[in-house]
Amino acid sequence: MAVDRLYALLERLGNLLRTEERAAGLRHGLQPVHLQALRYLQSCNRYSNTPAALTEYLGLTKGTVSQTLLLLEEKGLLRKQPDTEDRRVVHLLLTEDGRAVLKEALPPELFKRALSGLPGEGEVLEATLTGLLRALQTANAQRSFGACGTCKHFQREGPGRFRCGITKEPLSREDSQLLCREHEAVPPGA
Amino acid sequence: MAVDRLYALLERLGNLLRTEERAAGLRHGLQPVHLQALRYLQSCNRYSNTPAALTEYLGLTKGTVSQTLLLLEEKGLLRKQPDTEDRRVVHLLLTEDGRAVLKEALPPELFKRALSGLPGEGEVLEATLTGLLRALQTANAQRSFGACGTCKHFQREGPGRFRCGITKEPLSREDSQLLCREHEAVPPGA
DNA sequence: CGCATTTAGTATCGAGTCGATACTAATCGG
DNA sequence: CCGATTAGTATCGACTCGATACTAAATGCG
């Protein structure tokens, strides 16, 4: 029974957020999925700003995402930059307009206000929901897209000096907070 | 910052649930919104099983919901029963087939398993999310659709004997657990 | 009562998402 | 060097959703 109620709650919250996103995007002629794409591109790292990574993040097919990106590019909210190493790959970079739209639209004002009324700043809620999300993602064989600094390949070399164990490249403090498609959570008890 | 992370979390959970609903509905030729409609109709009370109530619940327009209901009726998952008092109103009743589809599809198996791995049974999570949902609903001037027994018009007359302060009708214990479109939360400190 | 207003629900249309399929081009692997 | 894989695009059809317009029943106010 508690499972059913929790499911209903999450479903309803998801619907509400979508409705708000729809309203927020309407002002710019954007759909919910467009805002979600922009938000992802704003918070992912330089290894993860590609159509393929966005496809995995959104859980859609690559054809669908390709259309989404076409529209965003036409509107001038992002631009495509060919990868210098692998010429099949393009990188998606937000334009100033894209950043401006996001800043104006997300998260919705109503959400911020509703959240401010919650007790305790929501750290516990964030931790619980993260756990739930991880469980669902592993169950669906999906990637976690967590912050770089919480990955098991993240190496600390000194104060403010980090390195990625996969690419072997150095990482800044800002890098460590961005989402990565290669992210794997640190195994419990490490 | 915490607000942004929480927003992203809820958005992602919502997307995941939609994806799972899409997969679950595919087996019956149903879309996510169809399963959501069926689930609502299964858990709402006799005052709230109308197209108008469902429209408010889902946050869509009545035209959209009308189409959804047409499809569900054609598939034999629900039937329409004219109201005896107000001849503009119809009541939506799940058929046996409708109930069977729901039982098979919702909540998704993966969700149940993921939740079972969470610490502490989720009562705290349920309470927190309910609070967040209520806050968002009041901010959007939406109805809460809470369980009848948690409404400020719910009257206790004895063990297992209740009454609705609006309709003045008696309510059973089962009635008290169903969702109502007229639901208003008990004001804090009552 | 009588008539305008409101409410419940339906019908239709167009814009847009999304998955499926098929395709090109580049890279990888033996 | 050539088949297999991977990144991305193009096109099509099914479907959702909002907007608009509509009917029918109830309500309210003079």
Q: What is the pLDDT of residue B113?
A: 83
* DSSP notation for chain A: -HHHHHHHHHHHHHHHHHHHHHHHHHTTT--HHHHHHHHHHHHB-TTS-SHHHHHHHHT--HHHHHHHHHHHHHTTSEEEEE-SS-TT-EEEEE-HHHHHHHHHHSS-HHHHHHHHTSGGGGHHHHHHHHHHHHHHHHHTT-----BGGGBTTEEEEETTEEEETTT--EE-TTGGGSB-TT--BPPTT-
Q: What is the pLDDT of residue A106?
A: 79
Amino acid at A53: A
CA of A79 to C1' of C16 (A): 22
Task: Please answer whether residues B142 and B53 qualify as being in contact, where contact means their C-beta atoms are separated by less than 8 angstroms.
Answer: no
Task: Please answer whether residues B159 and B172 qualify as being in contact, where contact means their C-beta atoms are separated by less than 8 angstroms.
Answer: no
Mean pLDDT across B145-164: 93
A142 backbone φψ class: left, alpha, beta (φ>0; ψ -120 to 50): beta
Task: Please answer whether residues B121 and A1 qualify as being in contact, where contact means their C-beta atoms are separated by less than 8 angstroms.
Answer: no
Please tell me whether residues A94 and A147 are part of one structural domain: no
- Flag if A110 and B136 touch (Cβ within 8 Å): yes
**Does the pLDDT value for residue B56 go beyond 90?**
yes
Distances (CA, A) of A45 to A91, A175, A182, B47, B133: 11, 7, 10, 51, 32
Spatial CA neighbour of B36 closest among B107, B135, B127: B107
- Tell me how far apart the alpha carbons of residues A155 and B128 are, in angstroms, rounded to a whole number: 35
Please tell me whether residues A138 and A102 are part of one structural domain: no
Q: What is the pLDDT of residue B144?
A: 92
Choose the weakest-confidence range: A24-33, A37-46, B102-111, B170-179.
B102-111
Q: Tell which strand C nucleotides have any atom below 7 Å from a protein Cβ.
A: 7-13, 16-22, 25-28
Q: What is the pLDDT of residue B108?
A: 80
Please tell me whether residues B105 and B131 are part of one structural domain: no
Helix/strand number for chain B, H first, E second? 7, 5
Q: What is the pLDDT of residue B50?
A: 97
State the residue range of the domain holding A89.
2-113
Q: How many C-beta neighbours within 10 Å does residue B144 have?
A: 19
Of B67, B93, B115, the one marking the end of a domain is B115
Q: Within the 38-77 window of chain A, which residues sit less than 8 Å (CB to CB) from chain B?
A: 39, 43, 58-59
Instruction: Report yes or no on A188 lying in a domain.
Output: no
Question: How much of chain B, in percent, has pLDDT values that exceed 70?
Answer: 97
Please tell me whether residues A9 and A81 are part of one structural domain: yes
Instruction: Report yes or no on B147 lying in a domain.
Output: yes
CA angle, B143 then B148 then B63, to 5°:
40
CA of A127 to C1' of C21 (A): 41
Q: What is the pLDDT of residue A1?
A: 61
Q: Count of alpha carbons within 13 Å of A35, Cβ hemisphere only?
A: 29
A148 backbone φψ class: left, alpha, beta (φ>0; ψ -120 to 50): alpha
**Does the pLDDT value for residue A125 go beyond 90?**
no
Q: Quickly state the pLDDT bin for A115 (edges 50, 70, 90).
A: confident
Provide the mean pLDDT of chain A.
91
Please tell me whether residues B14 and B86 are part of one structural domain: yes
Instruction: Report yes or no on A189 lying in a domain.
Output: no
Of A113, A135, A161, the one marking the end of a domain is A113
Task: Please answer whether residues A43 and A106 qualify as being in contact, where contact means their C-beta atoms are separated by less than 8 angstroms.
Answer: no
Residue B55, CB, less than 7 Å from strand D?
Answer: no
Pairs of residues, one from chain A and one from chain B, whose beta carbons lie less than 8 Å apart? 157
Please tell me whether residues A24 and A84 are part of one structural domain: yes
CA of B32 to C1' of D12 (A): 23
Mean pLDDT across A126-144: 89
Q: What is the pLDDT of residues B14-40, one digit of tens each?
A: 999 999 999 999 999 999 999 999 999
**Does the pLDDT value for residue B120 go beyond 70?**
no
- Flag if B126 and A16 touch (Cβ within 8 Å): no
Q: What is the pLDDT of residue B10?
A: 94
Q: How many C-beta neighbours within 10 Å does residue B61 have?
A: 9
**Does the pLDDT value for residue A179 go beyond 70?**
yes
* DSSP notation for B22-51: HHHHHTTT--HHHHHHHHHHHHB-TTS-SH
Instruction: Report yes or no on A185 lying in a domain.
Output: no
Choose the weakest-confidence range: B2-11, B29-38, B61-70.
B2-11
Handedness of CA A59, A79, A14, A131 (dihedral sign): positive
Please tell me whether residues B90 and B157 are part of one structural domain: no
**Does the pLDDT value for residue A119 go beyond 70?**
no
- Give B70 or A128, the one with higher predicted confidence: B70
- Considering only CB atoms, A17 lies closest to which of B10, B16, B125, namely B10
Nucleotide in closest CA–C1' contact with B71: D15
The two tokens of residue A67 are 């259309």
Amino acid at B166: I
> Three-class SS of residue B170?
strand
Strand A154-158 and strand A170-171: pairing? Answer: unpaired
- Flag if A16 and B133 touch (Cβ within 8 Å): yes
Instruction: Report yes or no on B182 lying in a domain.
Output: no
Q: Quickly state the pLDDT bin for A44 (edges 50, 70, 90).
A: very high
CATH number at residue B111: 1.10.10.10
Q: What is the pLDDT of residues A140-150, one digit of tens each?
A: 888 999 999 99
End-to-end CA distance of chain B: 35
Instruction: Report yes or no on B48 lying in a domain.
Output: yes
Q: What is the pLDDT of residue B139?
A: 83
Please tell me whether residues B139 and B55 are part of one structural domain: no
Q: Quickly state the pLDDT bin for A11 (edges 50, 70, 90).
A: very high
Please tell me whether residues B104 and B15 are part of one structural domain: yes
Q: What is the pLDDT of residue A36?
A: 97
For helices B96-105 and B2-26, give the axis angle rounded to 10 degrees. Answer: 130
Instruction: Report yes or no on A149 lying in a domain.
Output: yes
Of A91, A113, A135, the one marking the end of a domain is A113
Please tell me whether residues B82 and B136 are part of one structural domain: no
**Does the pLDDT value for residue B134 go beyond 80?**
yes
* CA–CA min distance B85, chain A (Å): 31
Nucleotide in closest CA–C1' contact with A36: C17
Task: Please answer whether residues B146 and B185 qualify as being in contact, where contact means their C-beta atoms are separated by less than 8 angstroms.
Answer: yes
Please tell me whether residues B15 and B47 are part of one structural domain: yes
Amino acid at A34: H
The two tokens of residue B183 are 């639901």
Q: What is the pLDDT of residues A50-75, one digit of tens each?
A: 999 999 999 999 999 999 999 999 99
For helices B123-139 and A123-139, give the axis angle rounded to 10 degrees. Answer: 110
The total domain count for chain A is 2
The two tokens of residue A42 are 């704003």
Mean pLDDT across A31-46: 96
Mean pLDDT across B163-184: 93
**Does the pLDDT value for residue B1 go beyond 70?**
no
Starting at the edge strand found earlier in the chain, the sheet holding B161-164 runs: B154-158, B161-164, B170-171
List strand D contacts in A 48-67 (CB < 7 A). 50-53, 62-63, 66-67
Q: Quickly state the pLDDT bin for B76 (edges 50, 70, 90).
A: very high
- Considering only CB atoms, B110 lies closest to which of A11, A43, A140, namely A140
Q: What is the pLDDT of residue A121?
A: 61
Please tell me whether residues A95 and A131 are part of one structural domain: no
Instruction: Report yes or no on B26 lying in a domain.
Output: yes
**Does the pLDDT value for residue A139 go beyond 90?**
no
